Amino acid sequence: MFSKEESREFMAIFPDIVRDLTDAGRHTDIPEVTKRFAKVLQYNVPTGKKTRGLSTVIAYKMLERPENLTPENIRLANILGWCVELLRACGQVLDDMIDRSEIRHNKLSWYKNDQVGFNAIADSTMMENSVYAILRKYFSDHSLYVPLLELFQDITIRSALGKSLEGEITNGNRHDLSKMTMTNFSLISKYRTGYFNLQLPVASAMYLAKMGDPEQHRQARTILLEMGHYFQVQKDFMNCFGKPGFTDRIGSDIEEGKCSWLAVVALQRVNNAQRQIMEKYYGKEGDEAIEAVKNLYVELGLPATYEKYEEQSYKIINTHIQQISKGLPHKLFLTLLEQMYVSDE
């Protein structure tokens, strides 16, 4: 989906973002903090596949009129993509603390580093507010600056609501299996995945292209949230049955007692003896717990169920994309869908 040139172009902007946020001339009385924040940014932001940020750029290029695709506007799209990545990074820093995750992107979670610990909370806050500093610097003269600003604020709140719901279900380490329902899973995938991973990149690109029609945004949001549910199901399956490297730790959803699609479907199918296995091992750390639950998933036929779900959902979403109107390019949504469909190969 993303060419090497697009990735290089995107990465080339990041040093400018760091300089904007750590300019020594802005905070001359706290140079140590400024220097440390540069390290925070370098460690946490340009990591992973940067799919959300790059999707912002790709979406803009597909939405904007050809005559407006100037080098400066493409640069602004890349800067906007880094705003999305900054918001992703600040959320993941907090997620790792809440979930007590050891590893993120094949290295220590930020809070696990020496002399970081709970300081990571302040670091996350600084990264979140840095988003608005960048938006103000580069987009305050844009005709749709206020809707763009409100979009980032709205998605931030919705993501927090999703994390809060997830926390209510896991209830610390006291995992309540009765709350692991398809309704709750759908809400989590909507608030934690659909809004942030898909709506934010596309909607922000739409605003940059001066597409402010509420009906356009409604149609885009509807299909993007549907794709978000599909993406979360795939992500949950790959966390358990994917190849090493797809996730930071195979089976971490089991250890953390997540309200995953696999757990929800399993609990719909279990008999009393099988439910006892879930009660005993789900939400427990260690390879024994992971293997016990994973074996139960296989016994319940979940891999085959997933394959059927994936194929059917892909076709349904494809059909819904063809029904989009209001001047939204079908190619954009088909490209996003195709990227998700092949991402586990």
Q: Which of 338, 93, 124, 104 is nearest to 234 (CA)?
A: 338
Nearest-angstrom CA–CA distance, 124 and 110: 10
- Confirm if 266 and 296 have CB atoms less than 8 A apart: yes
Q: How many CA atoms lie within 13 Å of 339's alpha carbon, on the beta-carbon side? A: 18
Q: How many CA atoms lie within 13 Å of 2's alpha carbon, on the beta-carbon side? A: 20
Q: What is the mean pLDDT of the chain?
A: 92
Give the domain ranges of the chain: 1-141, 144-345
Q: Which of 117, 107, 134, 121 is nearest to 22 (CA)?
A: 134
**H or E segment at 286?**
none
Third-level CATH fold of 144-345 = Farnesyl Diphosphate Synthase (1.10.600)
The lowest-confidence range among 68-77, 146-155, 204-213, 330-339 is 330-339
Residues with Cβ within 8 Å of 154's Cβ and at least 6 positions away in sequence, in order, are: none
- Confirm if 155 and 149 have CB atoms less than 8 A apart: no
Identify the sign of the CA torsion 111, 116, 118, 119.
Answer: negative
Residue 222 pLDDT exceeds 70:
yes
Arithmetic mean of pLDDT, 85-114: 92
The per-residue pLDDT for 345 is 39
Give the amino acid at 267.
L
What tokens appear for 224 in the block? Answer: 């993007």
Phi and psi, residue 64, nearest 5°: -75, 150
Q: Does this chain's domain 1-141 share its CATH topology with 144-345?
A: yes
The per-residue pLDDT for 1 is 65
137: confidence class by pLDDT, cuts 50, 70, 90:
very high
Residue 25 pLDDT exceeds 60:
no
247: confidence class by pLDDT, cuts 50, 70, 90:
low
Percent of the chain clearing pLDDT 90 (strictly above): 80
Give the amino acid at 139.
F
343: confidence class by pLDDT, cuts 50, 70, 90:
low
The per-residue pLDDT for 57 is 97
**pLDDT tens digits for 190-221?**
999 999 999 999 999 999 999 999 999 999 99
Arithmetic mean of pLDDT, 236-265: 88
Q: Which residue has the higher pLDDT, 289 or 100?
A: 289
DSSP β-bridge partners for residue 107: 104
344: confidence class by pLDDT, cuts 50, 70, 90:
very low
Extended strands (E) in the chain: 103-104, 107-108
Residue with tokens 């209001």: 326
pTM over 0.85: yes
1-141 under CATH 1.10.20.10, yes or no:
no
Q: Which residue has the higher pLDDT, 249 or 162?
A: 162
Q: How many CA atoms lie within 13 Å of 320's alpha carbon, on the beta-carbon side? A: 17
**pLDDT tens digits for 300-309?**
999 999 999 9
CA torsion 217→153→96→45, rounded to 10°? 80
User: 316-339: string of b/e by CB count within 10 Å (b at 16+)?
Assistant: ebeebbeebeeebeeebbeebbee
- DSSP assignment letter at 249: S
Q: Which of 261, 212, 259, 194 is nearest to 52 (CA)?
A: 194
- How far is residue 278 CA from its own chain's centroid? 27
